[in-house]
Amino acid sequence: MKIAITATGNSLNSKVDSRFGRCSYFAVYDMDENQTKFIKNPNKEAAEGAGPAAVQLIAKQGVTQIISGEFGGKAKSILEDLNIQMIMLNGPEKSIQEVLDLMAINK
């Protein structure tokens, strides 16, 4: 199983980015391999369609869950159609590592 987390940077110390389609990076954690890779979001500065384009990018990675602060309406409907679970993370800023720790991952 793979989980994607929207990230402000490309390290485990980076903070979770509250924007799904316009995040800087996606941290993709592979539970089978027990490793995290960071994918730069090429759609961050897109004039429109950043959310749907980000869904396509993440779906190609085989992700089954995505963690972010918020999801746009278009991205939500596509994620639902693809059966990719959306987890909204609210509250104080957390690092990617803190989120993985909360999920008892990467220990």
List phi, psi (to 5°) of 32: -70, -40
CB 24 within 8 A of CB 35: no
CB 3 within 8 A of CB 29: yes
Domain ranges of the chain: 2-102
Record the pTM: 0.92
pLDDT digits (tens, 9 = 90+) for 17-76: 999 999 999 999 999 998 999 999 998 988 889 999 999 999 999 999 999 999 999 999
Q: Residue 106's pLDDT is what?
A: 45
Tell me the CATH number for domain 2-102.
Answer: 3.30.420.130
Q: Residue 83's pLDDT is what?
A: 96
CB 75 within 8 A of CB 52: yes
